[in-house]
Amino acid sequence: MKIVVLTGAGISAESGVPTFRDADGLWEGHRVEEVATPEAYDMAPSTVHRFYDARRSALLMVQPNAAHHALARLEEALGDDLLVVTQNIDDLHERAGSRRVLHMHGELLSALCRACDGRVRWDSDLVDLPPCPGCGVTELRPDVVWFGEIPYGMDRISVELARADLFVSIGNSGAVYPAAGFVQQALRYGARTLELNLEPSDGTPWFHEARHGRASELVPHWVEELLGTAQSAS
């Protein structure tokens, strides 16, 4: 059975990954849309760097939770038959042990060079404009997909959705496109669809089944259920 799992902010929230938005939805007085666009980066690169530098260092303070670990166990059992597509830019899936992870919105721990298009693993600050290890030019930007940019891996995701027998959405609001459209794509190709989310989402009507509660409880339970079934069927 081929499974595509889409994860979103809800799975990382339980690890305490800060959202860097205050009660007004602002970061240091800026709307997040104002520090997460190519235009913002062109106009005020140091502001944008400080925003992502703060998020990158905050990542070191959090740990994967039971939901991340359960997905890693599922990958151990299914291998290439499981793909985790994540909208999250943290590395909590990888730290839990997942290897087949597609970061459609990029990664905090990666820097992208605007001069040579090279990517490099990056775990320190970018605000001081360090030179690119590849070409030496000081044009490193966060390797994250900003508003107005095309998410990574869309062609591969379409292929995987077409092949999937089961599509599972974990911790997604169902309001952010293109990810919010994946459930409809999977349905068109005949997949069964399951939502695991804290509360009903905008996308809930599209799922064959929806379970609502904490990801750290729902995901391990679902994985055990699936692996139990797989064993008794063999």
Catalytic residue annotation: 105
Nearer Cβ to Zn ion (132/179)? 132
The residues near 30 (Cβ < 8 Å, ≥ 6 apart) are 47, 51
The 3-state secondary structure of 15-44 reads CCCCCCCCCCCEECCEEHHHCCCHHHHHHC
For residue 110, state whether it binds Zn ion (rule: CB under 5 A). no
For residue 113, state whether it binds Zn ion (rule: CB under 5 A). yes
| Part of the chain binding Zn ion (CB under 5 A), chosen from 1-9, 34-42, 129-137, 217-225 | 129-137
**Residue 185's Cα: distance from chain center in Å?**
18
Residue 49 sits at φ, ψ, to 5 deg, of -60, -40
For residue 97, state whether it binds Zn ion (rule: CB under 5 A). no
Instruction: State in angstroms the smallest separation of the CB of 122 from Zn ion.
Output: 12
Q: Which residues are registered as beta bridge partners of 167?
A: 4, 193
By three-state DSSP, how is residue 23 classified?
coil
Which listed residue (9, 44, 78, 115) binds Zn ion by CB under 5 A?
115
CB atoms closer than 10 angstroms to residue 55: 19
Q: Can you read off the two tokens belonging to residue 31?
A: 């709307």
Q: How big is the site for Zn ion, counted in residues (CB under 5 A)? A: 7
Instruction: State in angstroms the smallest separation of the CB of 144 from Zn ion.
Output: 17
For residue 116, state whether it binds Zn ion (rule: CB under 5 A). yes
Nearer Cβ to Zn ion (102/137)? 137
For residue 114, state whether it binds Zn ion (rule: CB under 5 A). no
Nearer Cβ to Zn ion (133/148)? 133
Restricted to residues 132-151, the positions that interact with Zn ion (CB under 5 A) are: 132, 134-135
| Part of the chain binding Zn ion (CB under 5 A), chosen from 37-45, 73-81, 110-118, 171-179 | 110-118
By three-state DSSP, how is residue 47 classified?
helix
The DSSP symbol for 139 reads: -
The DSSP symbol for 206 reads: G
Comparing CA positions, the residue from 104, 145, 89 lying closest to residue 5 is 104
Nearer Cβ to Zn ion (129/135)? 135
Residues in touch with Zn ion (CB under 5 A): 113, 115-116, 118, 132, 134-135
